[in-house]
Amino acid sequence: MTKSPALYRVILLVWAALFGLALLTTAGSLSREITQRPVAGVLALVTLLSIGYFWLNGIKDVLYTAWYYLVMRGRIRPVRRRELHRHPPRVVMVYCTRNDFNANSLAASMKQRYTNVHTVILDDSDKPEYLTMIDIFAATHDVQVVRRENHVGFKAGNLNNYLTGADYDYFVILDSDEIIPPRFIRRMLDYFASDRSIGIVQATHVATRNVTRFQQKFSLGVDSHWPVYQSVKNRYGFLSLLGHGAMVSKQAFDAAGGFPLMVAEDLCFSLAVREHGYTTVFAPDVTCQEEFPVDYLAFRKRHSKWTQGNMEFIRKNTRPIMTSRQLHWYEKLDIVLFTYALPLTAVFSVFVVINVVVLPMMHASFQFPLWMLIPTVAFLVAPMVNDVVFHWARMAHTKLLSYSGGSMMLYGSMYFTSLRSSLKSMFGNSVFLVTPKDSTAISFREALRSTRSELIFAGVLAVISLVFTRSVFPVFLLVLPAMVAPYLMVRHQPTRAELHERQRGKVLQAA
């Protein structure tokens, strides 16, 4: 598929008009501040540029959604079906697990309407109960199990350990909770046959098996994100392998030299594949199933992994991205706006310090025009636009409102996690964290203890703001979600019936 810069031209045009207006209405005040108090003036300019970057991200979210529904929807045409050759390609399904084996998911994924395929369990588990469960499953279903002596390189090292010397034409990546449809392999091969430059085909996903209240409440975002954002990125941005539910050609794997040994191995691999002339495409008509994190703690752990992975990606790939001759300018911008946003929480903290501490201490008189608050607040909720539009006709509006408000609090409460994970990755090593698949009921006291870092952070931030600005308003949107974190944890914790259902499922798998 030929990519187009049309969407990003519109995004930049809208942003330039809005930010240009901000520059015009603040130019006089900024000029006076820089002349009279150079340091305060420069800090005010840094603040304005930070707001401009935030606006650019917000405009991207709004126009991504608008572009899909107004321009793309109804015009997306999956590749046509093709007949298999007399000698169908050799396909291997690689199932990655580390103490989170799900027999039901793997058994369901293995029911492929394709003959030349075999399954391999890449097992990094170290808990006896999972080792036993996997051995029993392998013996029952005639599945190969590959274990390694060391666990170097996280998931990437696990994949490379097997794939580097294996005999296959294509491989399918399955996460522990992944369920792919029976025609997955057949349909993916249609995409590869349509264009020899394709190295990765990524399927879409929906969230299923939502047993806990946390999953039932917040998994709606999975169903809306995949078809909209990935379809748009497929045509107008940089589409990446998203870790699971995808097929990769051996040619692309060999050209890239395997998966980079990094936490965000999927994103790094996609970039390496692209640099060697292969592309990643999206298959919107192939729908896989995944599980949303079971509770708040599991969600926070996954969020930390994503943040660390993206920060590691920034440290090691920024220069190659900017100097790449394979990537178009709008693909580079797409990578920056999507990948850099999560770990840049640490940079946003500098923005908070400047406006809540430094400028008030300097008694700076510069103030932004009141009208700038309108787009800033609007773009704050911009990430929710796609969810609202997608689910508007699918669910009760009161439920949608509850989901939207809850999601803003949930993701807002992740600020401290993002900050801590960003700094950890920036000055240390990123760590691949496995998202827990089990949940336990907790008391409110335990919830307070589990979120004490968030609560202390919110309290300190509120006090600092009161001391220097005599108001909590400048940091209200950071303090409130953090203070709500214990409630989110307890309110959406699993009930006894939900815990029993999950435990019953594990017993059935073991049997």
**Residue 143 falls inside a structural domain:** yes
In this model, does residue 1 exceed pLDDT 70? no
Q: Is there a single domain that holds both residue 300 and residue 283?
A: no
Q: Is there a single domain that holds both residue 144 and residue 155?
A: yes
Q: Is there a single domain that holds both residue 285 and residue 304?
A: no
What does the pLDDT read at residue 507?
42
Q: Is there a single domain that holds both residue 420 and residue 331?
A: yes
What does the pLDDT read at residue 508?
45
- Average pLDDT on 445-459 reads 92
What does the pLDDT read at residue 188?
96
**Residue 498 falls inside a structural domain:** no
Instruction: Please give the full DSSP string across 37-88, using - where no structure is assigned.
Output: -HHHHHHHHHHHHHHHHHHHHHHHHHHHHHHIIIIITTT--PPPP-PPPSSP
Q: Which long-range contacts (CB under 8 A, 24 or more apart) does 418-421 make?
A: 418/303, 418/307, 418/342, 418/343, 418/345, 418/346, 419/345, 419/346, 419/349, 420/304, 420/453, 421/303, 421/304, 421/307, 421/308, 421/311, 421/343
Decide which of 250 and 352 is more confident.
250
What does the pLDDT read at residue 366?
74
- The Cα 177–Cα 502 span in angstroms is 13
- The Cα 200–Cα 304 span in angstroms is 26
Residue 187 CB coordination number (10 Å): 23
- What's the pLDDT band for 265 if we cut at 50, 70, 90? very high
**Residue 65 falls inside a structural domain:** yes
- Average pLDDT on 178-185 reads 96
Q: Is there a single domain that holds both residue 218 and residue 122?
A: yes
Q: Is there a single domain that holds both residue 225 and residue 315?
A: no
Q: Is there a single domain that holds both residue 99 and residue 242?
A: yes
Partners of 283 in the β-ladder:
203
Domain span at 136: 91-293
- What's the pLDDT band for 77 if we cut at 50, 70, 90? confident
The rounded mean pLDDT for the chain is 90
pLDDT for 377-433, tens place per residue? 899 899 999 999 999 999 999 999 999 999 999 999 998 998 888 888 877 777 777
What does the pLDDT read at residue 426?
79
**Residue 82 falls inside a structural domain:** no
In this model, does residue 492 exceed pLDDT 70? yes
Burial per residue of 124-135, b for 16 or more beta-carbon CB atoms within 10 angstroms, e otherwise: bbeeeebbebbe
pLDDT for 187-209, tens place per residue? 999 999 999 999 999 999 999 98
Domain boundary among 293, 309, 337: 293
Question: CATH no. for residue 229?
Answer: 3.90.550.10
pLDDT for 324-365, tens place per residue? 999 999 999 999 999 887 766 666 777 788 878 887 887 777
Q: Is there a single domain that holds both residue 58 and residue 189?
A: no
- The Cα 24–Cα 15 span in angstroms is 14
**Residue 326 falls inside a structural domain:** yes
Q: Is there a single domain that holds both residue 220 and residue 299?
A: no
- The Cα 241–Cα 66 span in angstroms is 24
**Residue 215 falls inside a structural domain:** yes
Predicted model pTM: 0.90
What does the pLDDT read at residue 500?
57
DSSP 8-state secondary structure symbol assigned to residue 340: S
- Average pLDDT on 36-44 reads 87
Provide, rounded to the nearest whole percent, the portion of the chain with pLDDT above 90: 64
C-alpha distances in angstroms, 68 versus 7, 239, 406?
A: 10, 15, 25
In this model, does residue 441 exceed pLDDT 80? no
- Average pLDDT on 2-25 reads 96
pLDDT for 454-464, tens place per residue? 999 999 999 99
Residue 254 CB coordination number (10 Å): 12
pLDDT for 87-117, tens place per residue? 899 999 999 999 989 999 999 999 999 999 9
Q: Is there a single domain that holds both residue 209 and residue 259?
A: yes
| SS3 state of residue 192 | helix
Domain boundary among 254, 277, 293: 293
How many domains is the chain built from? 3
What does the pLDDT read at residue 509?
47
In this model, does residue 505 exceed pLDDT 70? no
Q: Is there a single domain that holds both residue 327 and residue 414?
A: yes
Q: For 299, left (φ over 0), alpha (ψ -120 to 50), or beta?
A: alpha
Q: Is there a single domain that holds both residue 284 and residue 257?
A: yes
**Residue 85 falls inside a structural domain:** no
Decide which of 504 and 480 is more confident.
480
What does the pLDDT read at residue 510?
43
**Residue 406 falls inside a structural domain:** yes
